[in-house]
Chain A
Amino acid sequence: AQKITQTQPGMFVQEKEAVTLDCTYDTSDQSYGLFWYKQPSSGEMIFLIYQGSYDEQNATEGRYSLNFQKARKSANLVISASQLGDSAMYFCAMRDYTGNQFYFGTGTSLTVIP
Chain B
Amino acid sequence: NAGVTQTPKFQVLKTGQSMTLQCAQDMNHEYMSWYRQDPGMGLRLIHYSVGAGITDQGEVPNGYNVSRSTTEDFPLRLLSAAPSQTSVYFCASSYSSGRSYEQYFGPGTRLTVT
CA–CA, A105 to B41, complex, Å? 7
Q: Is the C-beta of B75 less than 8 angstroms from some C-beta in chain A? A: no
Residue of A nearest to B9 (CB): A43
Which A residues are CB-close (under 8 A) to B59?
A: 101, 103
Query: Least Cβ distance of A42 to chain B in Å?
Result: 9
Segment touching B, from A13-21, A45-53, A70-78 = A45-53
CA–CA, A65 to B87, complex, Å? 31
Q: Does the CB pair B45–A103 fall under 8 Å?
A: yes
Which B residues are CB-close (under 8 A) to A83?
A: none
Encode contact with A along B33-54: 1 for CB under 8 Å, 0 otherwise.
1010000111111001010000
Query: Least Cβ distance of B67 to chain A in Å?
Result: 17
Q: Does the CB pair A99–B41 fall under 8 Å?
A: no
Which A residues are CB-close (under 8 A) to B105?
A: 37, 44-45
| Interface range on chain B (Cβ under 8 Å from partner) | 20 to 34
Encode contact with A along B56-99: 1 for CB under 8 Å, 0 otherwise.
10110000000000000000000000000000101010001101
- Given A102-B33, A104-B44, the answer on whether A33 and B101 have CB atoms closer than 8 Å is yes
7 pairs from A and B in contact (CB 8 Å cutoff) = A33-B100, A44-B107, A47-B103, A50-B99, A100-B50, A101-B58, A102-B58
Chain B residues with CB under 8 Å of chain A are 31, 33, 35, 40-45, 48, 50, 56, 58-59, 88, 90, 92, 96-97, 99-105, 107-108
Chain A residues with CB under 8 Å of chain B are 4, 33, 35, 37, 43-45, 47, 50, 52, 91, 93, 95, 99-107
